[in-house]
Structure 1
Amino acid sequence: MLEKQNLLGLTQVKLKKFFSDLNEKPFRTKQIMQWIYHQGALDFGDMHNFSKDLRQKLQAIASIELPEVTSINNSKDGVIKWVIKLGEENHIETVYIPQKDRGTLCISSQVGCSLACTFCSTGYQGFNRNLQNHEIIAQVLIAQNHLKDKNKRISNVVFMGMGEPLLNESPVYDACDILLDDWAFGLSRRRVTVSSSGIVPALKRMSDTVPVSLAISLHAPNDELRDILVPINKKYPIKELMKACHYYLNAGTQERHVMFEYVMLKGVNDSIEQAQELSKLINFWFQGESAKVNLIPFNPFPETKYTTSNDIAIDKFQDILYRSGIRTTTRRTRGDDVDAACGQLAGKVVDKSRRSAGRD
């Protein structure tokens, strides 16, 4: 018996081909996307503008399946974390962060992560596999269906959960396509952000493929320190990364922006000298261009050797960047009481990389 085609996560182009192969008219694509993403329908039987024959045919060969949610954790500050089971005892985590003017959903792109950034809880879990299209989009649909009952909405989606998005390119690009599609979630390109540790060749491909916002996990002002904090830097050092960011800014016809994320680690990367070095780096490469820095107070997890920079150090660091003309913000820690803050997402990963076994 053939496995049913899960229609969740198929782009408009792929759905048109699916219906064409069934000798159905192209307008069926718009209908089913609106049923799934606007109405939250998961049963073909509920799609009353389809003929009975088409509904029966779809039930025989296709499905709209969401993975199992094993727990929903509500933080005291309004953050919501979903733990989602993906078989083989693997779990990923998805986080909703409500703010006064928006609601941001942080989604995962892999089960675990292979990059081993030393300050990130996900990196300590090892790596199992990439997520498929439908598993990425399922996170958004699960959250959207849950939030509707609470009169809350998703205004922004960020690929800042578990995994490195640019090591799972095709599914991530398809997911971005669906997030931007008016027949699906209809988000603007500036409200969808892909965060990368700096996979330079993929970053260039993304620049030409999906017109979304870019965040770069920088975390150090020089190669010597970044080699330790973000080991992929040994393969794609800062100079190559900065060139790729320039390529991104100048790709396409619409104005683009790049945000550099910088986690604040006490006594590691938070000194006045390092702030001055970072300001020189950013100004050298992006003088007069649309780039900003987002300082992130480190969020501890059990296995870590790092501690969080104190407020005075963070304020001084931000002030140096600001005085050098760099737009700089400090991210407020949210959801840390349910381990949903930045860098704390761990899920449950059956590690196939054998890396987690070697941790001390």
Structure 2
Amino acid sequence: MTLAGKKPNLLDLSFHQLEALLVSLGEPPFRARQVWQWLWQKAVASPLSMTNLSKALRERLAEAAEIRMPRVAQKLESSDGTVKFVLDLDEGENAASIETVLIPEKTHYTQCLSTQAGCAMACTFCRTGQMGLTRNLTPGEILGQILVAKAHLAAVDTRLNLRNLVFMGMGEPLLNYNNLLQAIEALHHPQGLDFSTRRITVSTVGIVPGILEFGRSGMGALAVSLHAPTQELREKIMPKAAKALPLNKLIETLKQIPLKPRETITFEYVLLGGVNDSLQQAKELVRILSHVKGKVNLIAYNESPGLPYKTPDPAAVEAFQKALWDKGITVTLRKSKGRDIFAACGQLLAAHEMGEEKE
């Protein structure tokens, strides 16, 4: 996604594309490994800063390409350690803004990554879904979010490393499938960011054929945004996803994904107060999950201005969780973090664009 007349962004290139570029500049293929390390391990801002390359090569590379990093438009830090960024991408007709979030855990950080600017799925409880889709992110824009986060962590001198990546931010990852796969392939490269497949999770509402292809690829774990135990309710709260892949077909598709002995599919379930949090709905969810090797990640809804849903009663959350436990289903309750900095996906960007962001 390069604008006419604009130099290619080195961050958008796969390793083999970078290799081809350097060969076209008269260099041996092994130079790609050196440049790759400068891009992903040292996060340089310009080819001219790659000091173990000859000055002539640096100049030729700078003439042929450039490095365009996401620009931090806003950064908010929560009292619980969560850090949320609004990032501006590109310029002119291709300009877009996205969010990414750093979430502190006991021993590490997890980063929530966006794959699209906005989202086309229009789930009724999701702020991002109400924005509509602006465009897909390029591989370099997806990966650039990690470089921004790592630069922040280096600056604050934290002892916790960035270890887990979850593609659960803005957008539906499987609707940007090719760019997502290229980004994940780069993540795995040992001379680059070097993330294990066990540390990467892709969340989807259920897109075919991408969900089956990714599930079979072994490139990361799969999380499915379910949020309702019946097709009827799913059509009400996430109509586009429910109609594109009805619930029964979604479950049948998931049954075709090969899982290793200790692997499971994660089902994300946002509890909306009075909508999908009853004991009867918990029983219906148990029935669905009896057909798939999965676990459930419950999330108590974080209220968002302008959307018609409420945070569930804590007693209802506890009862729902217990109903799943009692039937032998592994279930976790995700603790809400960053409430004081517009925690829910899309909230900070919406506030930023309306000039309501917190100082």
TM, length-normalised to structure 1:
0.90
Deviation at 1:279, TM superposition (A): 0.8
Q: Say whether residues 1:260 and 2:263 are aligned partners.
A: no
Q: Say whether residues 1:104 and 2:113 are aligned partners.
A: no
Match of 1:201 in 2: 209
Report if aligned partners of 1:112, 1:346 keep a CA contact under 8 Å in 2: no
Report if aligned partners of 2:99, 2:169 keep a CA contact under 8 Å in 1: yes
Q: For residues 43-122 of structure 1, what are the structure 2 equivalents within 5 Å?
A: 43-86=46-89, 87=91, 90-122=96-128
2:262 and 2:7 mapped to 1: Cα distance?
41
Cα RMSD, aligned residues only: 2.0
2:249 and 2:185 mapped to 1: Cα distance?
27
Find the residue that maps to 2:258 and give its secondary structure: helix
1:186-214 CA distance string (max 9 Å, x none): 11112111100111211122234451111
Deviation at 1:21, TM superposition (A): 2.4
Deviation at 1:43, TM superposition (A): 2.0
Match of 1:273 in 2: 280
Match of 1:223 in 2: 231
1:273-327 CA distance string (max 9 Å, x none): 11011011101x12xx3x1000000011111111011111111111111111111
Structure 1 pair 163/113, CA: closer, same or farther in 2 (3 Å)?
A: same
Out of 255, 258, 267, the position equivalent to 1:249 is 258
Paired positions, count: 344
1:163 and 1:11 mapped to 2: Cα distance?
22
Q: For residues 1-360 of structure 1, what are the structure 2 equivalents within 5 Å?
A: 2-86=5-89, 87=91, 90-152=96-158, 153-209=161-217, 211-231=219-239, 232-250=241-259, 256-283=263-290, 285-286=291-292, 289=293, 291-341=294-344, 344=347, 346-347=349-350
2:58 and 2:308 mapped to 1: Cα distance?
56
Report if aligned partners of 2:216, 2:258 keep a CA contact under 8 Å in 1: no
Find the residue that maps to 2:140 and give its secondary structure: helix
Letter in 2 for 1:202: G
Find the residue that maps to 1:270 and give its secondary structure: coil
Structure 2: state its 5+ residue gaps.
354-359
Find the residue that maps to 1:224 and give its secondary structure: helix
Deviation at 1:178, TM superposition (A): 1.4
Deviation at 1:3, TM superposition (A): 2.4
Highest relative contact order (Cα 8 Å, sep 6+), 1 or 2?
1
1:217-247 CA distance string (max 9 Å, x none): 0001110101111211112011211122223
Report if aligned partners of 2:99, 2:346 keep a CA contact under 8 Å in 1: no
Report if aligned partners of 1:299, 1:344 keep a CA contact under 8 Å in 2: no
Deviation at 1:56, TM superposition (A): 0.8
2:180 and 2:227 mapped to 1: Cα distance?
24
Find the residue that maps to 1:63 and give its secondary structure: coil
Match of 1:354 in 2: none
Deviation at 1:349, TM superposition (A): 11
Report if aligned partners of 1:167, 1:199 keep a CA contact under 8 Å in 2: yes
Percentage identity across aligned positions?
A: 41
Letter in 1 for 2:207: I
Report if aligned partners of 1:173, 1:209 keep a CA contact under 8 Å in 2: no
Structure 1: state its 5+ residue gaps.
351-360
1:342 and 1:273 mapped to 2: Cα distance?
28
Find the residue that maps to 1:157 and give its secondary structure: strand
Report if aligned partners of 2:108, 2:162 keep a CA contact under 8 Å in 1: yes
Find the residue that maps to 2:257 and give its secondary structure: helix
Report if aligned partners of 1:111, 1:349 keep a CA contact under 8 Å in 2: no
TM, length-normalised to structure 2:
0.90
